[in-house]
Structure 1
Amino acid sequence: MPRQRIDYGPEPAQFGHLYLPADPVANPVPVVMLIHGGYWSADFHLNLATSLAIELARLGVASWNVEYRRVGAGGGWTQTSADIEAALAAVGDLLPAHASIPLDLDNVRIVGHSAGAQLALWVAGQRDSPVRPERVVAQAGAMDLAARAAGRTAGAALAAFFGARYEDAPQLYRDASPVHRIPIGVPAVCIHGAEDIQVPAAASRAYRDAAVAAGDTVAFWEVPGEGHNDFLARGSRSWDLTLRALLDEDPWSAPPA
């Protein structure tokens, strides 16, 4: 599947790969922005989401798989969040200039895995963004960074990401946590493996409950027998449900069969 590298900023990690459907289209196609996970660390790269990006393009949408500054690659919360905002804005100003087919900029969707899900929900809640997504799909999302830090779960990774311990900057952690930012005004589907031991499924369930109570439209799909990284495996139930959540006209109308 051909791809185009597009730089959305001057820093080495400020780029993404754009994949387009191979067949000619007459009507504008939706755009899906993909945000990979990996503890916000430079040890992990956008290739984690490449297979999904290619599959989405094969299924008829434009996919925008973004890299961003991470801890160890010029990143931290300030830089990383700025990059995710810029990558989303690029959907409206940079991508149309590079695309050989028309893009439907009123039909932008975001999917993120793990740490990427935190970033996806966070940027979806930025109401002043020049591009507002039509939906967001959170795979095994880290929904409450404040609670994880307070409970000393992934505390070192979070301290490195924020440049401060939770005890010294609790509001900073809350401001970045999806569960503390509701309502975001964007429909979401939260998908989580029941056997996830890295980020328990209870995190997505709690987010759904709180977001719905605050007025957001949110579905929570728990996947029996699968864990944190099954989202990266083509043909897994988590993979198939992600495609459904991104591509179905109304994934909120009924739970998955």
Structure 2
Amino acid sequence: MSVADEETALLGLAPVAPDRTVAYGPHPDQLVDLYLPRGADGARAGAAAGRPVVLLHGGFWRAAYDRRHLSPLAAALAGRGLPVALAEYRRVGAGGGAPRTFEDVAAGVAAAVRELPGDGAPVLVGHSAGGHLALLAAARPGTPVHRVLAVSPVADLARAHALGLSDGAVGELLGEGPGLEARLAAADPVRHPPAGVPVTILHGTDDPDVPLELSRRYAAQSPGTDLHELPGVGHYAPVTPGSPSCHTLCAHLLRPRST
């Protein structure tokens, strides 16, 4: 699969319905979809075989992109015996933006911990803008996080803003105008590495949407970050079930990293 075909391959997958959806607030987007662990035969497992996972989708924090495109990945992980929560959150254009989006992620993680089977704090798996949200949530005091697996994350928010990624998405998220520098500082993962939380980053070398440079800058500022560069891979393949780079994601997720 070429880099140019990756987006079509992911978005062409049929959404997979969850076992259950729970609300963590009154807004229509304050939801988490639960995918319960299943055995090799597809039957629901009697007990969780792995640590809970919370998936955070990307889309540059905009309302035009919702969680459904990660539902095949959520179902695939549940099929490997993992209890999975696919979290939705308020996004720019539909009641979101800073700080509401960040507050929703924290509340969604808490709801997932309450509702999912499994042992202990969850692994946060975030793609693209969801990778930014996962890294930021892990640094938020009181958020239960075992470790973070960030995939093609917007890990350096100031640099993303300077590059004008996705027609100024960072400015839309934080709000342009006076005080932007302070808002950037407060919401930039590179300035807030999560203390005591292991971080693994997977990033394709040919990613045209979120440059690999952002993950390299994060890793350089956050000692202990485990950065894996995926040669010839673009933005979407790592979260597309069946792709070689998605197998890599699953291997990292299923191989616990010690704290």
TM-score by length of 1: 0.86
Which residue, 243, 246, 250 being the options, matches 1:239? 246
Residue 199 of structure 2 corresponds to which residue in structure 1? 188
Residue 67 of structure 2 corresponds to which residue in structure 1? 46
Residue 8 of structure 1 corresponds to which residue in structure 2? 24
Q: Distance in 2 between matches of 1:228 and 1:26?
A: 34
Q: Distance in 1 between matches of 2:247 and 2:47?
A: 27
Counterparts in 2 of 1:123-134, with a 5 A limit?
A: 123-129=137-143, 132-134=144-146
The answer on 1:60 being equivalent to 2:81 is yes
- 1:244 alignment partner AA: A
Q: Cα offset for 1:26?
A: 4.5
Q: Distance in 1 between matches of 2:250 and 2:48?
A: 21
Residue 118 of structure 2 corresponds to which residue in structure 1? 103
Residue 19 of structure 1 corresponds to which residue in structure 2? 35
Taking a change above 3 Å as real, the CA distance of residues 183 and 62 of structure 1, as seen in their structure-2 partners, is closer
Which residue, 204, 216, 223 being the options, matches 2:215? 204
Counterparts in 2 of 1:143-222, with a 5 A limit?
A: 143-154=155-166, 156-165=168-177, 168-212=179-223, 217-222=224-229
Q: Between 144-153 and 22-31, report the one with greater CA deviation.
A: 22-31
Which structure: greater strand fraction? Answer: 1
Query: Would the aligned equivalents of 1:223 and 1:237 in 2 still touch at CA under 8 Å?
Result: no
Query: Would the aligned equivalents of 1:125 and 1:185 in 2 still touch at CA under 8 Å?
Result: no
- 1:73 alignment partner AA: A
User: In structure 1, the residue corresponding to 2:222 is in which secondary structure?
Assistant: helix
Same amino acid, percent of matched pairs: 35
Taking a change above 3 Å as real, the CA distance of residues 200 and 5 of structure 1, as seen in their structure-2 partners, is same
Taking a change above 3 Å as real, the CA distance of residues 26 and 51 of structure 1, as seen in their structure-2 partners, is closer
Q: Cα offset for 1:69?
A: 0.4
Q: Cα offset for 1:103?
A: 2.3
Q: Cα offset for 1:228?
A: 0.9
Q: What is the CA deviation profile of residues 179-227 of structure 1, one whole-angstrom value per residue up to 9, with x for unaligned ones?
A: 1112432101100001012211121122122111xxxx32111111110
Query: Would the aligned equivalents of 1:143 and 1:204 in 2 still touch at CA under 8 Å?
Result: yes
TM-score by length of 2: 0.85
The answer on 1:114 being equivalent to 2:141 is no
Query: Number of aligned pairs?
Result: 238
